[in-house]
Amino acid sequence: MDQTTATQASKPPPTVGDRHVDPHSYPDGIAFLDGQYLPMSQAKVSVLDWGFLHSDATYDTVHVWNGRFFRLDLHLDRFFRGLEKLRMTIPFDRDDVADILHNCVALSGHRAAYVEMLCTRGASPSFSRDPRQAINRFMAFAVPFGSVANAEQLQRGLRVAISDKVRIPPASVDPSIKNYHWLDLVRGLYDAYDRGAETALILDFNGNVAEGPGFNVFRVKDGKLSTPAIGVLPGITRRTVFDLCAEEGLVAVAADVSVAALKAADEVFVTSTAGGIMPVTEIDGAPIADGKVGSVTSRLMALYWQKHDDPVWSSQVSYP
């Protein structure tokens, strides 16, 4: 036994005073886990779950605004497609999951909520490395609504930096399966913070703009819209922009967007379930056009929130 090993072996075991105390202040909300509804603070997963150990999971998020789910059907579609592609199974069908999400929101009482459904690979009873032996685990939760951009940023526009970090290529991880592989995005965020920006965009494998942490990006030039087509999550809010443009007679396409083209845009905005349509007025320290929120962005933002009261686009939560 060497000196280091001997020293470690001589240490007394941890005492009660050495126990970890959870430092987190959990948001007020309700989770569904293992067949029961729980306060968020009681919703726990095993450290042996592959979702934790290997980021082997898929999820989807939908929001509730003024007591109504927005485009829940599209989020359910994407979640169940992800389960199928990852060969995961849950003991609930689509209607069951919709009911669980509604119950989480209703029990929480939130009129504006961020609602997530997720499935992890789970854990193997024998800690096997064979994913087929893991028992998949479904859970869901509803917490207060949170936005990528705060009220001030929505008014003046976000300040964004473009990082040289490259998004995981689609040949490695299918971006249409919503996942927790965020290290590339997190590294991009730190690049942005180091440069005084508020959030980040990262690149695709061809050096074009891809997406940011939890959002897609749109460029407006001469009244026409474009958004990156390769290596990005096909976001539901991104899809909603295409739908709104079709209603309004605006041209919108998915295509390569170079860094130079984005910086030369008349307007730029980002889209996410966590915030909707959010303006960008500065990239890498330089203003976009005149540095103000543009007319097309403002128009689409207004239309987007109006649709939240439309029963074709939204569904009411039944509160107790």
Q: What is the mean pLDDT of residues 231-245?
A: 97
Question: Which of 20-24, 210-214, 240-244, 291-295 has the lowest average pLDDT?
Answer: 20-24
Tokens of 287: 């203003």
Beta strands, E only, the chain: 30-33, 36-39, 57-65, 68-70, 113-123, 135-144, 158-166, 199-203, 216-221, 224-227, 252-254, 267-272, 276-283, 286-287, 314-316
| Domain identity same for 56 and 203 | no
What residue has token string 């968020």? 40
| Domain identity same for 190 and 298 | yes
Residue 5 above 50 pLDDT?
Answer: no
What is the pLDDT at residue 67?
98
Where residue 127 falls among pLDDT bands split at 50, 70, 90? confident
Residue 24 above 80 pLDDT?
Answer: no
Residue 22 above 80 pLDDT?
Answer: no
Helix (H) or strand (E) holding 251: none
105 lies in which domain range? 26-144
What's the residue count for the chain? 320
Residue 88 CA to residue 136 CA, distance in Å, equals: 6
| Domain identity same for 120 and 240 | no
- Alpha helices for 39-93 (secondary structure H): 50-53, 72-85
Give 140's strand partners. 32, 117
More confident residue, 212 or 20: 212
What is the pLDDT at residue 7?
44
What is the pLDDT at residue 146?
94
Residue 222 CA to residue 195 CA, distance in Å, equals: 30
Give 276's strand partners. 272
| Domain identity same for 92 and 189 | no
More confident residue, 128 or 251: 251
How many structural domains comprise the chain?
A: 2
| Domain identity same for 240 and 100 | no
Residue 9 above 60 pLDDT?
Answer: no
| Domain identity same for 129 and 40 | yes
Residue 6 above 60 pLDDT?
Answer: no
Where residue 26 falls among pLDDT bands split at 50, 70, 90? confident
What is the pLDDT at residue 14?
55
| Domain identity same for 134 and 84 | yes
| Domain identity same for 67 and 176 | no
Q: Residue 270: exposed, middle, or buried by beta-carbon count in 10 A (0-12, 13-18, 19+)?
A: buried
What residue has token string 């008014």? 155
3-state secondary structure of 192: helix
Can you give the CATH number for the domain in which 75 is found? 3.30.470.10
